[in-house]
A and B are shown apart, each in its own frame.
Chain A
Amino acid sequence: MTDVLTLFGTYIAIIITLAVYSYIIKETDLFRFAEYSFLATSIGWAILLGLDTINNVGISAISKGRYDYIIPIILGLLLFTRFSGKLWYLARYPVAFILGVGLGVFMRGQIHAMFLQQIAATVITPVTVDSLIILVGVLSVLVFFYFTREHKGALGYVSTLGRYFLMVGFGATFGNTVLYRINLAVGRIIFILRALGLLP
C-alpha cells in the first residue's frame, strides 16, 4: 500500500512543480491548485508546529512542577479573544508580551551589533586604499539619507557619491540574484529529471 501512496505522492509533487511554472505563461487554475495547496499545507504545518511548541515548551514545564507556566498558556489563549466580539481587547496582552520581548531582544542586538560594531568595523587596520573607499562609502551613504538640510553644494556632491555607491551595491545584488534564482530553478529541474528517472 505504501509504495502506491509514495508513487502517487511523487506524481502530485511533479504536477505541483509544473503547475507553479505555468504561472509564467498565464495565471491559470493549474497555478491556483499549486498556490492553494501551498497555502493550505503551510498553514496546516504551522498549526502543528504551534501545538508541538505549546506541548514541548509549556506542558512539559508544567508536568515538571513549574506551575507558573500556566500563566503564559492562559496569556496565549487570550489571543483567541480576537475572534470574540466583546473581549477583543484582551488579545492585545499576548501580542504586547511578544512585541515587548521581541523589541527588547531586537533593539539590544541592533545597537550593539548593527550600530556600534558596524561603525567600529568601518576602520579596521591596516589602513589601505580599499578601507578608505569603504570609509568614504559609509559616510556618503549616511549623508545620502540625511533629510533636514537641502542637498546643495558640497552636501550635494557627497550625497550623489553616496547614490553611486548604492548603485554598485544594487548591481552586486542584481547579479547575484540572477545566480540564485537560476540555481533554485536548477534544483527543481534536477528533482523532476530524477523523479522521471533521467538523472541518477
Chain B
Amino acid sequence: MTSEIFKRKELVFALIAFLGLWLFLDYSVVEPGVQSVTADILKWATLLGGFMLIYGGLEALRYHSKVVYKKQRNWYWSAYFVAIVLVYVFSGLIQGSKGMIPQWLFNNMLDPASATMYSILAFYIISALYRTLRLRSIELAILSLVTIIVVAANDPIITIYVPQLTAVRDWFISVPNVGANRGFVIGAAIGAIFLGVRVFLGRERSLVR
C-alpha cells in the first residue's frame, strides 16, 4: 500500500515546493541555524548533480546499446560510441580522471571536436548575412544596418580611416540595445517567476515525468 503514496505526484510537488520556498526564504532570513541547514541542502543538491551527470551518461549508453542490439540505422557508429564511453570510464576509474588515457581522449577527441563545432558557424553566418540581410522592411533595415555598423566597427582597417565608427557602434550597443535587452530581461524574469510559482503550486505537471 505504501508504494501507492509514493506514486502520487502531489507528494513530489510538495517536496519541490518545500525545498524551493526554504531556499527562497533563506536568502532573506539571516539566521545561522537556517544558514547551515541551507548550506547542507545546497550541498546535497550539488551531490545529486553528480548522480545526474552519471544518469545522463547511462541513458545515452542504454539508447546506443539498444541501437547496436537491434542493428538499427548507423548501428556501427553507436557501437563505436559505446566502446569509447566504456574505455573512457574504465580507464578513468583505474588511472583517475587525470590519468594518461582519459587525458589523451580529452585532449585529442573531446577538445578538438567541441572547440571546432561552433566555429563551422563562421561559414553559415557569412552566407546568412549575404543572403538574408536585405533592406526589405523598416524592421529588417534597422537590424541590417546596425549589424553592418557593428561589423564595420569590428574591422580594424575601417576604424583606422573612420575612427568615429567605434563610438557609433558603442552608442548603439550601450543605449538602444540596452533599452531593448533590459525590457527583455525583465520580461524573462517575469516568465521565470511564474514558472517557479506554478511548479510550487503543482500546476506545472509536465516538469516531473
Contacts and interface: CB of A to CB of B under 8 A. Distances in A.
Contact of B183 (A71, A112, A140): A140
A157 interface: no
Range for the number of chain A residues in contact with chain B: 35 or more
Interface in A47-61: 47-54, 57-58, 61
Instruction: Label chain A's interface by main secondary structure.
Output: helix
B53 A50 contact: yes
Contacts of B97: 45, 48-49, 51-52
Interface string B63-105: 0000000000010011011111101110011000100101011
Contacts of B167: none
Nearest to A14: B112
A149 to B, nearest CB: 16
A83 B19 contact: no
Contacts of A169: 176-177, 180-181, 184
Contacts of B24: 104, 107-108
Chain B: number of interface residues, binned into ranges? 35 or more
A139 interface: yes
24 contacts: A5-B104, A38-B110, A43-B60, A45-B105, A45-B106, A46-B53, A47-B85, A50-B57, A52-B97, A53-B50, A79-B55, A83-B62, A89-B7, A94-B52, A110-B196, A118-B185, A141-B183, A165-B183, A167-B146, A175-B149, A177-B125, A178-B154, A184-B122, A185-B122
B50 A76 contact: yes
B6 to A, nearest CB: 6
Contact of A44 (B18, B52, B84, B177): B84
**Which of A44, A96, A145, A175: most chain B CB closer than 10 A?**
A44
B17 A47 contact: no
A16 B104 CA distance: 14
Contacts of B102: 44-45, 48
A44 B143 contact: no
Contacts of A194: none
Interface centre among B52, B54, B81 (most CB of A within 10 A): B54
Contact of A41 (B21, B109, B140, B199): B109
B188 A45 contact: no
Contacts of B56: 43, 46
Interface string B179-203: 1111111111110110110011000
Nearest 8 CB-CB pairs, A to B?
A137-B179, A175-B150, A141-B183, A171-B146, A104-B23, A44-B88, A53-B50, A100-B19
A174 B139 CA distance: 14
B175 A134 contact: yes
A172 B172 contact: yes
A57 B177 contact: no
Contact of B53 (A2, A47, A102): A47
B123 interface: yes
B183 A53 contact: no
Contacts of B162: none
